[in-house]
Amino acid sequence: MSALHSQGARRDIEGRRAIWEVAAFYVDAAWGAPFLVRTPWKDRSAATIFYSSAVHARLWRRNENLPIALAGADPGQALFEFSERRSQRGTSLYVLAPAFAHHPIQPKDSFATMPAGVAGVLDTRKGIPWGPAGSRDTTLEFEWPDYPGPINLDNTFTIPTLGFYIVANSAQIIRVSDGLDVPARSLSLTSSYDQFGWGFSAVLAKGAARALVEGPEGEPVEVDVSVNGVTWRILVDAWDSRTSFGKNEARITGRSRSAYLAAPYAAGRTYTETSSLNAQQLALQELPPGWDLQWNAVDWFVPAGAWEYQDLTPVEAVARIARAAGGFVLTDPAIDRLIVNRLYPAPPWELDSIAPAYQVPLAVMLQTASRKLPSLGAHGVYVAGGTVAPYHAEVIRRYTSGQPRAPQVVDPLITDRNPAEARGIVALADSARRSTESYQLPLDPALGGLVQVGALVEVGGEVASVFVPDWRGLVRQVAVTAEAARVSNGGVALTVRQNVDLLRHYEESI
C-alpha cells in the first residue's frame, strides 16, 4: 500500500484502516471456525452427545474464507498515522494472528464416545434375558419334589428314616510301598478321646501273610486300610501268631502315623519356653516338619517361662496343652495332621444352644446299649495356675450357689480366663449325672459316613417325615469293624459296622 499526503489520502487511509479492522474481524472468525461452525454431516448423529458442534468442525485452511480485500492484497508498504503525523515503516511483515498448521488437529475418534453418551439406550438389550426369562423356561416343565423339611443351614447331617437300608460293603488292606494286597479275614479300627491316634488290628487270612507286614529287621510297615470309601493310613508295628489244630493264624496291630510322634519312635525331651506365645503356637512348634495342626479349642496368651516340661514326646506335649484348654487330641485318618477339639463345645446344660453334627433316628440303629456312670453333681470348682503366671478362678454354674464343689484343678498353663473357664466346665461336666449310650450304625457316605469323635449327635425319631429330637450326646469313641464269613451258598459275605459311644448328660431344671 502507498502513503499519500493529501486529505484524500487521509480518507483513503481511513478507508484502509476500516478494511484492516474488518479483515481482522473476519480472520478471527475464521480462526475460531474450527471450534464454532456447524458439525460436519458424518458426525451429526453424535452431536447430541456433546451438546456442542465445536469439536466436529470441518478442516480449516489458511487462505479459506478470507475477505476479498485481504485475500487479493499484494505485499507492500503499510502507512500508519499517529497524532496527525505519518510514519513510514518501510517493507515490514505484520502477522495479524497466530499462525496455524495447514491442517489443524481435530477429533477423529469422536464416534467412539457414543456408547458412553447414550448408554441407557444401548444397554437396554442386556436387560431382556432377565425380563421374560420365565416365559422362555416354561417348556422345561421341572417336577419339584414335595419336601416338608426341615432345611438344615448349619451343616447338620440328618440320617433319613427308611424301611430298609442297602449298603455295598468293601474292605481292603494295601501295602503302601508296593501296592500289594494283604489278605485278612477281619479288621478293626478304633478312635477315642483319650487316645491320640487310631488303633488298628486285623486277623490275616493266612499265616504266611505276616511277611507282607514285616519290614526289614523288624521295621514297621505302612498300609492303607479302606472300608466303605473311608481310608486310614496305618503304621503296622506289631504282630502275634498262633497255631491250633494245624491252622496257623496271625494277628497284626498298628496305629496312625502319629505313632512317629510318640515312644518308641520319638524321644522325650525337657524344655522351657523363653518367649511369650499363644497356646496354639506352643502346640504347633512341638510338631516336626510336614505335620499340620488343626486347633478347634480355646486359645490364650502364655507368658514366657509358664510352659515347661520334662521328658515328653511331641504328641504328649501337645496333649498336655490341649488338656489345659479343656480339649483332647485326635489324628486325621489319612494325612499327617493332629486335631485338637474341645471335650465340651458348650456346657452340657447348654448343648441345645449349638447345632448338632448328626441327627440319628432310632430306626437306623442296629444295636443299642446303655451304662450309667457315677456322679457327684458339682456346681462349682476352683481353678488355679502355676507360680510363673499365677491365675485363680472360681467356675460356678449359672443360677446355682456353686455347691457342691468338684476337686480343685491346678495347671501351670492356666494363665488366662479362657483356659480357666474351659477347664472348669470340663470338671463340672465330668461330675454331672450321665451315662454312656452305645449304638451300632452302618458305615456309608449316604448315611453320614464316618462319625467324628467329639461331635454332637442328636438322637430321636421321625414323625410325619420330620425328625423329632429326643436327647443329645457327645461322641467319645468310634470303632469300625469289617468281617468276612462264609455263607450257606459257599460264598463270602462281608459285614461292616460302626460302633459309636455317646456321652449323655441328664440335666434337671434348677
Q: What is the dihedral of CA 332, 309, 285, 389, to 10 degrees?
A: 110
Full residue range of the structural domain in which residue 448 is found: 149-375+432-510
The answer to whether residue 426 sits within a structural domain is no
133 versus 207: the higher-pLDDT residue is 207
Helical H segments across 286-358, by residue range: 314-324
Q: CA–CA separation, 345 vs 348, rounded Å? A: 9
Whole-number Å distance between alpha carbons of 388 and 411? 11
For position 389, what pLDDT does the model report?
A: 86
484/241: higher pLDDT: 484
38 and 163 housed in the same domain? no
* The predicted structure's pLDDT at residue 125: 47
Domain end marker among 92, 111, 126: 126
211 and 119 co-located in one domain: no
The Cα 160–Cα 147 span in angstroms is: 13
Q: What is the mean pLDDT of residues 376-391?
A: 91
User: Mean pLDDT over residues 443-470, rounded?
Assistant: 87
- According to the model, what pLDDT value does residue 56 have? 47
More confident call, 502 vs 29: 502
pLDDT tens by residue, 400-449: 898 999 999 999 999 999 999 999 999 999 998 899 999 999 999 888 89
User: Is residue 82 domain-shared with residue 154, that is, in the same domain?
Assistant: no
Task: For residue 156, give the C-alpha cell.
Answer: 447338620
Q: Taking residues 336-350, what's their average pLDDT?
A: 94
pLDDT on residue 36: 43
Length of the chain: 510
pLDDT of residue 283: 97
pLDDT(5) > 60: no
User: Shortest CA distance to 335 belongs to which of 290, 272, 381?
Assistant: 290
Q: Which residue has the higher pLDDT, 445 or 192?
A: 192
Q: Is residue 181 part of a domain?
A: yes
Measured CA to CA, the distance from residue 458 to residue 157 in angstroms comes to 10
Q: Is residue 382 part of a domain?
A: no
Band (pLDDT 50/70/90 cuts) for residue 466 is confident
494 belongs to a structural domain: yes
Single out the residue of 19, 29, 13, 24 nearest to residue 69, CA to CA.
Answer: 19
Find residue 330's DSSP bridge partners. Answer: 339
Residues 241 and 358 in one domain: yes
Domain membership of residue 415 (yes or no) is no
Q: Which grid coordinates are listed for 55?
A: 469439536
Which residues is 202 bridged to in the sheet?
A: 187, 252
DSSP state of 62: T
Q: How confident is the model at residue 302 (pLDDT cuts 50, 70, 90)?
A: very high
Residue type, 92: S
Please say if the pLDDT value at position 18 is more than 90: no
Please report the pLDDT score of residue 57 as a whole number.
47
Residue 33 pLDDT more than 60?
Answer: no
* Residue 284 or 377, more confident: 284
Instruction: Confirm whether 418 is domain-assigned.
Output: no
User: Could you tell me if 210 and 117 lie in one domain?
Assistant: no
DSSP class of residue 181 equals B
pLDDT for the residue 28: 45
Domain check: are 229 and 330 in the same one? yes
Instruction: Kindly state the average pLDDT of the residues 471-475.
Output: 93
Tally of structural domains, the chain: 2
In a domain, 404, yes or no: no
Residues 118 and 35 in one domain: yes
Domain stop point among 126, 159, 178: 126
Examine the fold and report which residue of 126, 160, 180 is the final residue of a domain before the chain moves on: 126
Q: Are residues 93 and 224 in the same domain?
A: no
Q: State yes or no: cis peptide before 303, omega within 30 of 0.
A: no
> Is residue 213 very low, low, confident or very high in pLDDT (cuts 50, 70, 90)?
confident
Supply the pLDDT for residue 23.
Answer: 46
Instruction: Determine the Cα–Cα distance for residues 68 and 426; give it in Å rounded to an integer.
Output: 108
- pLDDT for res 406: 92
Residues 174 and 122 in one domain: no
pLDDT at 191: 97
Pick the residue with more confidence: 63 or 477? 477
Nine cell digits for residue 182? 494283604
Q: Are residues 88 and 183 in the same domain?
A: no
Stretch 362-387: mean pLDDT, rounded?
88
374 preceded by cis ω (within 30°)? no
pLDDT at 161 over 90: no
Q: Is pLDDT of 260 > 90?
A: yes
Q: Which amino acid is at 448?
A: G
Q: Which of these ranges, 205-209, 229-233, 248-252, 346-350, has the smallest mean pLDDT? A: 205-209
Q: Give the N- to C-terminal CA distance of the chain in Å, as an integer.
A: 121
Kindly state whether residue 227 falls inside one of the protein's structural domains. Answer: yes
User: pTM to 2 decimals?
Assistant: 0.68
| pLDDT, tens only, 74-131 | 444 555 454 554 545 444 444 454 444 445 555 554 444 444 444 455 544 444 445 5
Are residues 164 and 82 part of one domain? no
Residues 85 and 190 in one domain: no
Give me the CATH number covering residue 346.
2.30.300.10
Task: Over range 302-309, report the average pLDDT.
Answer: 95
Average pLDDT of the chain to the nearest whole number: 78
